[in-house]
Each structure stands twice: as C-alpha cells, then as structure tokens.
Amino acid sequence: MENLLALVIGVLYAAGIYMMLRRSLVKLIIGLALLSNAANLLIFTSGGLVPARPPLIARGESALAAPFADPLPQALILTAIVISFGVMAFALVLFYRAAEEAGADDLDRLTSTDT
C-alpha cells in the first residue's frame, strides 16, 4: 500500500505542478490545492501507515494500546490543512481581485511590476 500511495503522491505532485505552470489564475490555484494535498499525504505516509487504529483512548483506559496510528503527524496535517485552507481562501479572493483589476484570467497579462 505504501508503494501505491507513493505513486499517488507522485501523481498529485505532477498534476499540481502542471496546473501551476499554466497561464490561468484558476488553474494556478487548483494546482496549489493539489500540491498541498500531496504534501499532506506525503507526511501522512512517511509517518507510517497503521490500518484502522485511530489514536483514541478507550473509555477507562489510561494509554493507547499499540499498535496505533501515530497521532503526531495527524495533528501536524490537521494544522497544515487548516493553514492551507486559510491561505487558499485568501489566495482565491486575491486572484479574483487580480483578475478583476487586469480584466483577464491570463497570468501573462500580469507582468508589469517586474522590469
């Protein structure tokens, strides 16, 4: 399963990167979203897969019984998901406004500030 997930991660990265390299703002943000999913999945996988043993301590117990899914990567990913959600929401609005200012969705029309 790990090998399969590694492949999935690779595909997500490839798709994300390809989308980001387009000229469309919408595709760019879709690419970003794919990329953050890929990163999260990468963390999840490299932390080790443990099927169906969530890190929930049973009522009355005082500790998790091994084997259990590593709770720390989960917490990290959760934080990362929330952060990327926030950032994505902002980026969406930003891109919308940029497209509005530029009158187009085309990134190639947004090059005036560079040189």
Partner 1 sequence: MSDLILSTATRFLMPLFLTFAVFLLLRGHNEPGGGFIAGLVAAAGFALYSLAYSPGRMLQLLRVGPRTLIGWGLLLAAVSGLPALAAGTPFLTALWAKLHIPGLVNLKVGTPLIFDVGVFLTVVGVVLTVVVALQEEED
Partner 2 sequence: MTALPLAVLSPFALSALAPWAHARLKHHAGWLLAVLPAILTAFFGSLMPLAASGAPASFRTPWVASAGVMFSFHADGLALLFAVLISGIGTFILIYAGGYLKGHPQQGRMFVFLLLFMGSMLGVVLSDNLITLFVFWELTSLTSYLLIGFNHEQERSRRAALQALVVTGTGGLAMLAGFLLLGTAAGSMELSEIVEKGDQIRSAALYLPVLILVLMGAFTKSAQFPFHHWLPNAMEAPTPVSAYLHSATMVKAGVFLLARLTPALGGTPEWEASLTVFGAATMLAGGALALVKTDLKQLLAYSTVASLGFMVMLLGIGSPYAVKGCLVFLTAHALYKGALFMVAGAVDHETGTRDASALSGLRTGMPFTAFAAVLAGLAMAGLGPWLSFIGKELALEAVLGGGNLWLTAVTVLTSASFVTVAGVTGLRIFSGPPSAAPKKAHEAPLSMWIGPVWLAIKGALLGLMAGKAAAFLAPAVSSVLGRPEQMKLALWHGVNAALGLSALSIALGAAAYIGWDRVRSAGRLGDTILKWGPDRLYDLSLDALSALARGQTRVVQSGYLRYYLLAVILTVMTLAGHALYSRGEPPVMVSTVPVTAYGAAVALMIVASAIAAVLLDTRLGAIAALGGAGGGVALVYVMYGAPDLAMTQFLVETLTIILFVLIIFKLPRFARLSRPWSRVRDGLISIAAGGMMAYLALVALHVDLHPPISSYFAENSVPAGFGRNVVNVILVDFRALDTLGEISVLGLAGLGAYALLKLRLSGRKAV
Partner 3 sequence: MSVLTVIPVLIPLCCAVASLLARRSIRLQRKLAVAGTAALLFAAIGLMTAVLHHGVLCTQSGSWPAPFGITLVADILSSVMVMLTGLMGLAVAIYSLASMDEARERSGYYPLLHMLLAGVNGAFLTGDLFNLYVWFEVMLIASFVLLALGGERAQMEGAIKYVTLNLMASALFLAGVGILYGMAGTLNMADLSLKLRDTGHHGLITCVAMLFLTAFGVKAALFPVFCWLPASYHTPPVAVSAIFAGLLTKVGVYSLLRVFTLIFTQDIPYTHTIILWAAGLTMVTGVLGAFAQNEFRRILSFHSISQIGYMVMGLGLFSPMALAGSVYFLVHHSVVKTNLFLISGVAEKLGGSFELKKLGGLYSSSPVVAGLFFVVAMSLAGMPPLAGFVGKFILARAGLEAGQWVIVGVALAVGMVTLMSMTKIWGEAFWKGSPGTALPQPPSRKVLVTLLVPVAFLAALTVLTGIGAAPLIHVALRAAEQMLDNSQYIAAVLGEGMR
Q: How far apart are CA 38 and CA 30, in angstroms?
A: 12
End-to-end CA distance of the chain: 49
35 is in the binding site of which of partner 2, partner 1, partner 3, none (Cβ under 5 to 8 A by kind)? partner 3
Structure tokens belonging to residue 20: 């980001």
Question: CB atoms < 10 A from the CB of 71, how many?
Answer: 13
Which residues contribute to the site for partner 1 (CB under 8 A)?
54, 56, 78, 82, 86, 89, 93
CB of 90: closest distance to partner 3 in angstroms? 6
Give the per-residue contact string, 55-94, with partner 2 (x = CB under 8 A; - = no). Answer: xxxxx-xxxx-x-xxxxx-xxxxxx-xxx-xxxxxx-xxx
76 closest CA partner among 52, 51, 55, 53: 55
Phi-psi region of 59 (alpha: psi -120 to 50; beta: other; left: phi over 0): beta
- Under the binding rule (CB under 8 A), the answer on residue 24 touching partner 2 is yes
Residues making contact with partner 3 (CB under 8 A) = 20, 25, 28, 32, 35-36, 38-40, 42-44, 46-48, 72-73, 76, 79-80, 83, 86-87, 90-91, 94-95, 97-98, 101-102, 107, 110-115
